[in-house]
Chain A
């Protein structure tokens, strides 16, 4: 999708505050971490304790899938699924297999999404967490398949499905197969929905292109993290098309909330409680007991 190109281009852009590149450059490695937004330097340990939210300016750092899950689910409850699926190189793109391999080693994931089941404050859920450190969270066959299987597991076990999205869109190197993953995840979601089951989509920075234009936008409830970049087309593509300067907050979570595209923007510190409450309110008999 065109959006992928746009995100690449943004790496060179230093003016915009909501760009994925900034966060990407600031994956904490050392003892101290500098906030890309307010430049405050925080002990990495303290930052992690604070759910990777800058204590000074509230900037939400990008999280890995594992970090996200450990901050969300009850300790030790997560059981991952389909870690054995491996991407192929269906169009024979030079260097693609190596790139996937390198990102796999870097992230410890088999692909750009981690899926499984676990307990959210004692309640069973099926969870998928996309990881933008793996090929920018782009969706190819394996990402589509893992998400589809996670949805099906939720359908079979009659459980809520929660996804944290973070993706530049469809993965170009798998061509139209990537595009079709949008339809594949959708047919699975329809079945889940027909069973009267809950689907919550949590859109995190960045959620764009084909992922934004499929499962990310059709939760029974759509939630986003503050300042997350969310959109169909990339800012640069739009600027070139409409030939006008876009507002600073264009395609941020807050912008989408203003335009009626989201149910809520939820701070990371409240995410676990909010999701847990939503799940509880969709569980028969749970409200009376709670």
Chain B
């Protein structure tokens, strides 16, 4: 990945990088030479902003996959201090251990106590090793469930931030019941008598993402994905060639606009131009506003109404004929 403005750029941004390089080249040249190229520079800059608009307003599914996986994309722990106050992290599932691939705790949101639970990946190798690349073990899901039940006791809303390639496929995870841990969360989330808001902020990979996803509303950032299998995985099954991931990303309908259209999610949260990593602060304020609106819709509902609304939401998902 090349760097642009200190941000790692992605292949689909290549034309922009080239144009920007040309502009700065010309600028340097004018500064030293005797010729006035300001009109050329101006026209190139106009072209740049047009191109920028064209590229960022017409992102293909594969472009979004790359933005969702961008190493500098803001994570749960980046957003928490920007959106909430008084965050206190709570550790451990009280059964086995503490899974650093999921962070959870309590905080206040516009004066209202809330519980926050989110997948946490690292941004560098060391952190990724500690966080297991954001791929939880059963104890992560059990910690999440413990915090959800605690939230229910104290009648505060639960906000889940989803950002994982999936639950960890490992030996220990199987031994400790990865399947049961995920399945238990699905069933127990169905019965929570407090508002549950699930927001996909990066990758939403399969059951490991859904285990935080049985919300009254599911929101997705514009460049996040939610899928049953990674594009690479789908490509290797469908065409025995994981290099066709790009084609699979389109075929599998995994982007926020796709899921909005399929009515699986309630809202799509717009991203700052080029992706959340370009301006995490501004992105946080957009997410904060989306949370405020959704909680406003849910805060007035009784426990029974919330359970019923969640039930009806998920019961209606499916495409078939009879």
Contacts and interface: CB of A to CB of B under 8 A. Distances in A.
Interface of A: 1-2, 4-5, 8, 82, 84-88, 90-93, 141-142, 144-145, 148, 170, 172, 174-184, 186-191, 193-194, 209-210, 212-218, 230-234, 237-238, 241-242, 244, 246, 250-251, 259-261
A186 B184 CA distance: 9
A153 to B, nearest CB: 14
A172 B228 contact: yes
A2 to B, nearest CB: 5
Nearest to A84: B322
Given A5-B236, A86-B321, A174-B319, A186 B207 contact: no
Q: 7 tightest CB-CB pairs across the interface, nearest first?
A: A233-B169, A141-B318, A186-B186, A190-B190, A90-B319, A212-B179, A187-B190
Given A2-B233, A141-B319, A233-B174, A175 B182 contact: no
Nearest to B211: A213
Given A93-B251, A180-B317, A183-B213, A232 B227 contact: no
B254 A175 contact: yes
Nearest to A233: B169
Contacts of B180: 217-218, 261
Contacts of B214: 183, 186-187
Contacts of A189: 187, 190
Interface in B203-243: 206-207, 210, 213-214, 226-230, 233-234, 236-238
Contact of B226 (A88, A172, A176, A241): A176
B135 to A, nearest CB: 9
How many B residues are at the interface, by size bracket? 35 or more
Nearest to A88: B319
A237 B178 CA distance: 14
Contact of B210 (A141, A145, A179): A179
B50 interface: no
Contacts of B191: 190, 194
Among A175, A191, A194, the one with the most B-chain Cβ atoms within 10 Å of its Cβ is A175
A232 to B, nearest CB: 4
Interface stretch (B29-37, B276-284, B307-315): B307-315
Nearest to B233: A2
B190 A180 contact: no
B320 A176 contact: no
A186 B187 contact: yes
Nearest to A86: B321
A234 B206 CA distance: 14
Given A91-B251, A189-B187, A217-B179, A251 B317 contact: no
Contact of B253 (A176, A216, A231, A234): A176
B229 A184 contact: no
B169 A2 contact: yes
Given A2-B229, A187-B214, A194-B191, A232 B318 contact: no
B314 A86 contact: no
Contacts of B182: 213-214, 232
B186 A145 contact: no
A115 to B, nearest CB: 14
B225 to A, nearest CB: 9
Contact of A179 (B175, B228, B310, B321): B228
B311 A187 contact: yes
Contact of A232 (B178, B229, B233, B320): B178
Contacts of B228: 1, 170, 172, 174-176, 178-179, 210
Contact of A238 (B170, B189, B311, B322): B170
Given A233-B174, A238-B169, A218 B184 contact: yes
B320 A231 contact: no
A175 B183 contact: no
Contacts of A148: 315
B177 A261 contact: yes
Among B184, B206, B227, B230, the one with the most A-chain Cβ atoms within 10 Å of its Cβ is B206
Interface string B166-177: 111111011111
Given A91-B252, A91-B253, A176-B227, A232 B319 contact: no
B262 interface: yes
Given A1-B228, A232-B174, A238-B174, A85 B322 contact: yes
Contact of B186 (A142, A182, A209, A241): A182
Nearest to B187: A186
A101 B276 CA distance: 44
Contacts of A177: 262, 264, 317-319
Among B174, B259, B311, the one with the most A-chain Cβ atoms within 10 Å of its Cβ is B174
A237 B169 contact: yes
A170 B237 CA distance: 13
Contacts of B184: 217-218
A87 B322 CA distance: 9
Contact of B170 (A175, A217, A241): A241
Contacts of B226: 176, 179
Among B188, B227, B233, B259, the one with the most A-chain Cβ atoms within 10 Å of its Cβ is B233
A259 B188 CA distance: 23
